[in-house]
Amino acid sequence: MRKTIWILGDQLGPHNAALDGARKKDDVLFLVESGRKLRKLKYHQQRLVLLLSAQRHYAEEMRKAGWTVDYHALGPGVTWATALAAHVKKHRTERVLLTAPNNYDEQQAAMKLAGKFPLEILPTRQFLVPREEFLAWAEGKKSLVMETHYRRVRTEFGFLMQPDGHPVGGRWNFDEENRKTFRDWVKAGHPSAEVRREKPDRITREVMTLVAAEFADHPGKAADFWLPVDRAGALRWLDEFIATRLAGFGPWEDLMVEGDELLFHSVISPLINLGLLAPRECIERAIAAYDKKKAPLPSVEGFVRQIAGWREFINGVYWLKMPDYEKVNGLEAERALPDFFYTGETEMNCLHQCIRQVSATGFNHHIQRLMVLGNFLLLTGVRPPEALRWYLEMYVDAHDWVMAANVLGMVLHADGGFMATKPYAAGSGYISRMSNYCAGCRYQPEVKTGPEACPFNYLYWDFYARHEKRFARNPRVGMALKTLAKKSPAERKAIADSAREFLRGLEKSPQRTQKGG
């Protein structure tokens, strides 16, 4: 019996469960470029180039490998439903196999189609931990701790584990060795490593032209696209990271340098999220580098933690909490997203630099997303759906499953602390220690209130003053609340006045409406 293997645009790897047992001479691969999906929001042009070019490369590779490929390109009226109906009719398919979509809305849409077509949905292998296993582990817990989950995953897979069941090096965590400051970086002689840009081939160039024309009013420039788009390119990209940057990953993981934005980061998220890389192979190649003494343990453990720990945890929380997760607003945040998140026009240099970078490349590393941009959104109380939408639109690696818990849980603390026991709130101290942004800023990081003060300083205390009651019973916030309580009435007034003045200025600045892209 002839089968159809339906491959979604973020399932482009050789590890796709729907391909198990498929036969080139009998079966057909089916792929769709869904306009509805690509136009759901005003996505960064480089994200669209990545999605379309990767999918077209996959189809071409499979054709060359001898598969029959039924490819439905972007066009008026092309949706999953219309393309599948045309496909089933043309190929007289009796069975369609699809690996479970990674995003909730797509899973719902696929289930709906399963009522009309002979569609079978298989469990995904794009994560180390199956969805049901995470749900069983999380069942009944009031809050979840990433570290506990991470240790379970490491033990189960034997990643960096000794035969006696203890972690290699005797510790689970090397934070003390990692996360060095900007001053440490200067003292070390500005260590740096080049991240080579990929040269676009014919298919990518065609897609760049298409995106520039069809999505002209979207952020970013398609012409500046810089990432790999196929399996071979993704493996080269990963190996280059392991050979040239993994050793420096740990110590400089949290650093932010104006003019050297990527530092030692892997930038594999856009690729791993499309299935071009499997989480396990990324981890195993990094561990192999440690075994060959090419990278130190703190760097390798730090990298393994990101994938086996954070990535798995974020995905698990998403499937545990959807569909209600996208509606959370635990801190009752009601401010509109300032328009400068799209233009970069702000005098706060740290924000300006991160927004400039993401507009140009579709990428910021984790600390820029969390401790600069996220910190601002949290402290000023921007409405969760608007913050979420911005992140989804601007990043090349953005997908619903990965953004929800990162933005709503980690950044905005909007889920009542379910996945982060305390808000990631910080004054200027963190940014000035970890970056050189403050040197080029019109504000003074050491000034606490008034027009010259860094806004993060008074916004931080204003945030805790606004939420004093809410966090009163949270022991992890105890120190901040005690310090706040010790402030004199005059200090508290100065904080409140500065914050009010700043927030009033934000309200006067242009703001984006919530209309679709």
User: Which chain residues interact with ligand SF4 by CB under 6 A?
Assistant: 348-350, 428, 431-432, 437-438, 441, 443, 445, 454-456
Shortest Å distance, C-beta 362 to ligand SF4: 22
**Residue 341 interacts with, from ligand FAD, ligand SF4, none (CB under 5-8 Å by kind):** none
* Three-state SS sequence of 203-269: HHHHHHHHHHHHCCCCCCCHHHCCCCCCHHHHHHHHHHHHHHCHHHHCCCCCCECCCCCCCCCCCCH
Report the distance separating Cα 46 and Cα 475, nearest Å.
43
Interface stretch with ligand FAD, choices 42-50, 170-178, 264-272, 458-466 (CB under 6 A): 264-272
Report the distance separating Cα 229 and Cα 381, nearest Å.
37
Short-list 381, 384, 372, 382, CA closest to 346 = 372
**Edge-to-edge strand ranges of the sheet holding 119-122:** 68-72, 28-32, 3-6, 95-99, 119-122
**Could you tell me which residues are beta bridge partners of residue 28?**
4, 68
CA angle 250, 255, 258 (to 5 degrees): 140
Residue 269 as a binder of ligand FAD (CB under 6 A): the answer is yes
Q: Is 4 helix (H, G, I), strand (E, B) or coil?
A: strand
Q: Is 72 helix (H, G, I), strand (E, B) or coil?
A: strand
**Residue 306 interacts with, from ligand SF4, ligand FAD, none (CB under 5-8 Å by kind):** ligand FAD
Short-list 475, 422, 421, CA closest to 141 = 421
The dihedral over CA atoms of 279, 104, 70, 18, expressed in degrees to the nearest 10, equals: 50
Q: Which long-range contacts (CB under 8 A, 24 or more apart) does 156-165 make?
A: 157/128, 157/280, 157/283, 157/308, 159/283, 159/287, 159/304, 159/308, 160/287, 160/290, 160/297, 160/300, 160/301, 160/304
Shortest Å distance, C-beta 176 to ligand SF4: 25
**Residue 402 interacts with, from ligand FAD, ligand SF4, none (CB under 5-8 Å by kind):** ligand FAD
Residue 8 as a binder of ligand FAD (CB under 6 A): the answer is no
Residue type, 57: H
Residue 272 as a binder of ligand FAD (CB under 6 A): the answer is yes
The residue (of 4 and 368) whose beta carbon lies closer to ligand FAD is: 368
Interface stretch with ligand FAD, choices 16-24, 93-101, 165-173, 310-318 (CB under 6 A): 310-318
For residue 332, how many other CB atoms are within 10 A of its CB?
11
Residue 333 as a binder of ligand FAD (CB under 6 A): the answer is no
**Residue 273 interacts with, from ligand FAD, ligand SF4, none (CB under 5-8 Å by kind):** ligand FAD
The residue (of 295 and 350) whose beta carbon lies closer to ligand SF4 is: 350
**Residue 445 interacts with, from ligand SF4, ligand FAD, none (CB under 5-8 Å by kind):** ligand SF4
**Residue 314 interacts with, from ligand SF4, ligand FAD, none (CB under 5-8 Å by kind):** ligand FAD
The residue (of 48 and 257) whose beta carbon lies closer to ligand SF4 is: 257
Site for ligand FAD in 110-149 (CB under 6 A): none
Distance from the Cα of residue 513 to its chain's centroid:
24
Residue 285 as a binder of ligand FAD (CB under 6 A): the answer is no
Through-space distance between the first and last CA atoms of the chain, rounded to whole angstroms:
43
Return the DSSP state at 114: H
**Residue 366 interacts with, from ligand FAD, ligand SF4, none (CB under 5-8 Å by kind):** ligand FAD
Interface stretch with ligand FAD, choices 211-219, 262-270, 288-296, 414-422 (CB under 6 A): 262-270
Residue 115 tokens, joined: 């009522």
Residue 410 as a binder of ligand FAD (CB under 6 A): the answer is yes
Which of 55, 103, 406, 432 binds ligand FAD (CB under 6 A)? It is 406
The residue (of 259 and 516) whose beta carbon lies closer to ligand SF4 is: 259
Interface stretch with ligand FAD, choices 9-17, 26-34, 69-77, 303-311 (CB under 6 A): 303-311
Which residues contact ligand FAD by CB under 6 A? 265-269, 272-273, 306-307, 310-311, 314, 365-366, 369-370, 374, 391, 395, 397-398, 402-403, 406-407, 410-411
